[in-house]
Amino acid sequence: MRFSSKIEKCGLSPMRKFHPYQLEAEARGRNIYHLNIGQPDISTPQAFFDAVKDFQQPVLAYAPSPGIPAYIEAVKGYYDRLGIQLESGDILATTGGSEALEIVLACILDEGDEILIPEPFYPNYNTFVRVTGASIRPIHTTPEEGYRYADRAKIEPLINEHTRAIMITNPGNPTGVVLSHEEMRLMADIAKEHGLFIIGDEVYREFVYGGEKLASLAEFTDVAENVIVIDSVSKRFSACGARVGALISKNKALMGHAMKICQGRLCSATLDQVGAAALYGVDPGYFDAVREEYKRRRDTCMAGLAKIPGVVCECPKGAFYIMAKLPVDDTDKFQTWLLQEFDDNGDTVMFAPGEGFYATPGKGKDEVRLAYILKQEDLERAMEVLAKGIAAYNAR
């Protein structure tokens, strides 16, 4: 039997490929500091669990395909508080931001089409794009420039007759880049001028550390036909396991096509939507506390990195990742070595090697993504172990 040429082009997650080495290291008694995954340790607000426990219907029935009204209204209210007016029909409940992306890309990409994405980017975009038969054309950035991409001169030469969309993660995973209002305007303008969709994966919206106003591409009402926003409760409320997201657009043709897929898969999980609706009633003070906590963690990591000679890294403005260039030959080999050969008093560290975040072959080999999702003292120790690891690796 033969497999589809599209799935043959997909790969496993680069964040998960060191899992076997991790198990071996743990079996040898190593303690591992995990900076490799984006699973926050912040408690999910109790409102989620209370709403789920209060569910009283005897039959756990299908939800409506576009989502349960309470969840749709909750998302609408949330955007309303950001100053963005949505209709209920502009929102579709999805199984995480992931499904929202899968649906959007299935609606707009054909075999041979291209989508522009700044690299480094979230590696699962590869899978979502490749199963449609389209490909990613990367917008190049460098660690030296702080991974900035909102530059007309960088983007426009990449647009051709195959280009269908530009997709950005803002705040950025893995780079932590946060676009200014002017930069968002520019990205929207470029999309509009070239008749492209502009997809904003904005699931880290609340995670901005410079006092920025919470932003969305949905603000630019004159580009409403082009704008598609991907949203999720996963990071916002530390509810990754709920798998409740949203596909948001005022482009009615797009939403009509998306509805076909939504009806095909029937609905997103009913109880999780009930819980997610309740999350949007959480006191805004929750975000302030979480933001403060992550900001401290970011600063701890940056202070740790600053002590390591040869690291190139601008302080990220958002999300909870740092992309950094390390003074090693190959971060894939370095990670393997850290798990197989190294320890400092029994401790070692994991990160996500950079290569998997790039579409351009060979790029990112000396970069890593660090997720600052551990508590303060663990992060301090993790950065110390990383520093000692780099020194020992280069002294082999």
Residues 192-231 binding a second copy (CB under 8 A) are 195-197, 225-226
CB nearer to a second copy: give 6 or 291. 6
Distance of alpha carbon 217 from alpha carbon 223, whole angstroms = 9
Coil, strand or helix at 107: helix
Under rule CB under 8 A, residue 306 binds a second copy: no
* Min separation Cβ 247 and a second copy, Å: 13
CB nearer to a second copy: give 203 or 338. 203
One-letter amino acid of 199: I
- 358: tokens are 């790039």
Coil, strand or helix at 170: coil
Under rule CB under 8 A, residue 155 binds a second copy: no
How many of the chain's residues bind a second copy (CB under 8 A)? 79
CB nearer to a second copy: give 106 or 214. 106
User: To which residue do tokens 């320890």 refer?
Assistant: 343
Under rule CB under 8 A, residue 348 binds a second copy: no
Under rule CB under 8 A, residue 242 binds a second copy: yes
User: To which residue do tokens 């190049």 refer?
Assistant: 140
204-238 burial, b if ≥16 CB within 10 A, otherwise e?
bbbbbbeeeeebbbbbbeebbebbbbbbbbbbbbb
Strands 227-232 and 197-201: parallel
CB nearer to a second copy: give 27 or 61. 61
Under rule CB under 8 A, residue 55 binds a second copy: yes
One-letter amino acid of 94: T
Distance of alpha carbon 331 from alpha carbon 17, whole angstroms = 13
Give the range of 43-51, 172-180, 316-324, 363-371 binding a second copy by CB under 8 A: 43-51
* Contact letters for a second copy, residues 119-138 (x by CB under 8 A): -----x--xx--xxx-----
Sign, CA torsion 373/356/141/166 = negative
Residues 250-279 that bind a second copy (CB under 8 A): 251, 253-254, 257, 259-261, 263-272, 275
Under rule CB under 8 A, residue 53 binds a second copy: yes
